[in-house]
Amino acid sequence: MPSLFYVALIFVLFFVYAWSVYNLPILVMGVKNLLEAKQRPRRKQCQAQLPTFSIVVPVKDEEKVLGRLLEALEKLDYPQDKKEVIIVEDGSSDGTLETCRRYSEQHGQLAIKIFSKSWSDGKPSALNYGIKQATGEIIAIFDADNVPASDALLNVCKYFEDPDVAAVQGRTMPINARENMLTRFAAYEDLVWYEVYMRGKDALNLFVHLRGSCQFIKRAVLNELGGFGEHTLSEDMELSVRLEEKGYRIRYASDVVSVQESPARLAQLFRQRTRWFRGTMEVALKYGRLMAKPSARRIDAEATLFGPLILVASLVTYFGAFYAAFSPASLSLLVEFVMKFALVILTTTFFMCGLALVYSSKPRKVTSLLWLPFIYFYWSFQAFIASYAVMLILLRRPQKWLKTDKNGSADPSFLSEA
């Protein structure tokens, strides 16, 4: 085995597993917090005067899903005079605009402002357009395929009673989890991500980032920062980093729930994750200056931003293992040690993910552990998507904000469990 290959493989392995070791305490804290939360009485809702909300919904070609969102927004358990809905129709070619107008005419009790743009230049631009029309103290953002729980606004208020909190990320769950194997994988991925990883970060006062929907931000802070960045593919992550740079805190709220549609086809997933991964890596390159004034949250922010690169690096470990398995040359003691160390880390990480699946499932099922090997291959597939995103950056391909198509599928039984 060439010495250069040895050096590169060992460097990448240490890089990947250092990142994994760093995240293990977060997973442990997430599981601990999850177990404790199930035994604690539910936290009371907002104790102060209820704030006003502007619910901003950017829509483009969402005729199939927009109706159920509007119905859910009307059913929100919140004073009608303290909420408004702002729909930004972003150059649709279907009946989205007609759906908005028809609903507004038939349901006058829900204050809906409809703005139509004749051109489309991405979700961040549509969001900024809607924010300029908003009057509420807090901006709530939902994608068109979302169905928020009726108590979402009441539950999120209490987090803003802390003056240091500028934004809150709620928990999103798939509405079509049982549609096929791909949506099932996405459902389990969300369980681990939100109910363990985000919980752990929040409990440790680390970097919690916004996820694009079911997110809530103080309008005054948004105006101070100039809204969302319009020249990025990951506007939620970019805004999260700017909030951190200014010293604001983002909280994760597991009791603020909204269900949404997960990609049901590989092409949909590939397009969505390519945009996510490329956008996140470009934010990482842009905001390396965070480390000029390091803190626990800033270090964690950088670790989060480098997540897609870790996925790419993990492919190197797969190829290295393949080479070692079929190469006639024997492995060095150092490589053998790193490989065994990797096995311990992966086993521990998988164990924590397994606990997350067991304790997050409704009803709680030990058989959820049987999905772990399949989820591992699902994550490996995403490593290839992240590699493709890296290639787009290196080749300097132009950015293009592509929406994820929705078909309106929903699983009523899963929705009732949520």
**By percentage, how much of the chain surpasses pLDDT 90?**
49
Q: What is the mean pLDDT of residues 169-183?
A: 89
CA-closest candidate to residue 148, choices 253, 71, 37: 71
Question: What is the crossing angle of helices 181-192 and 372-394, to 10°?
Answer: 90
CB 127 within 8 A of CB 141: yes
- Using the predicted structure, report yes or no on whether residue 6 has a pLDDT greater than 60: yes
In angstroms, the CA 28 to CA 21 distance is: 11
Residue 158 near residue 45, CB atoms below 8 Å: yes
| Residue 192 pLDDT class (50, 70, 90 cuts) | confident
pLDDT at position 253 over 50: yes
Which range has the top average pLDDT, 55-69, 109-123, 316-330? 55-69
Asked if residue 230 lies in contact with residue 188, where contact means CB atoms within 8 angstroms, the answer is: no
**pLDDT, position 5:** 65
Q: What pLDDT shows up at residue 399?
A: 84
Q: How far apart are the first and last CA of the chain?
A: 53
Averaged pLDDT score across all residues of the chain: 85
Q: What is the mean pLDDT of residues 288-312?
A: 91
What's residue 369's pLDDT?
A: 62
Does 371 or 75 have the greater pLDDT score? 75
Higher-confidence residue: 378 or 364? 378
Residue 73 has pLDDT above 70, yes or no: yes
Q: State yes or no: pLDDT of 414 exceeds 70.
A: no
Looking at residue 111, its pLDDT comes to: 84
pLDDT for 413 beyond 90: no
Architecture in CATH of 1-418? Alpha-Beta Complex (3.90)
Q: Region 281-310: what's the mean pLDDT?
A: 92
Rounded average pLDDT over 219-238: 95
Please, is 285 exposed, middle or buried when counting C-beta atoms within 10 Å of its C-beta (0-12, 13-18, 19+)?
exposed
Q: Is the pLDDT of residue 41 over 70?
A: no
For residue 42, what are its two tokens? 């539910």
Residues 6 or more apart whose Cβ sits within 8 Å of residue 106: none
Give one DSSP letter per residue of 318-359, joined into a string. HHHHHHHHH-SSPPPHHHHHHHHHHHHHHHHHHHHHHHHHHH
pTM of the model as a whole: 0.88
List beta partners, residue 55: 85, 140
pLDDT value at position 134? 96
| Per-domain residue ranges of the chain | 1-418
- At residue 13, the pLDDT reads 75
Q: What is the mean pLDDT of residues 23-51?
A: 79
Q: Are 256 and 214 in contact (CB under 8 A)?
A: yes
Residues 6+ apart with CB under 8 A from 101: 114
- Using 50, 70 and 90 to split pLDDT, how confident is the model at 128? very high
CA 219-220-223 angle, to 5 degrees, is 85
Confidence of residue 141 (pLDDT cuts 50, 70, 90): very high
Proportion of the chain above pLDDT 70, given as a percent: 80
Which residues partner with 173 through β-bridges?
A: 259
Per-residue DSSP letters for 347-397? HHHHHHHHHHHHHHSSS--GGGGGGHHHHHHHHHHHHHHHHHHHHHHHTTP
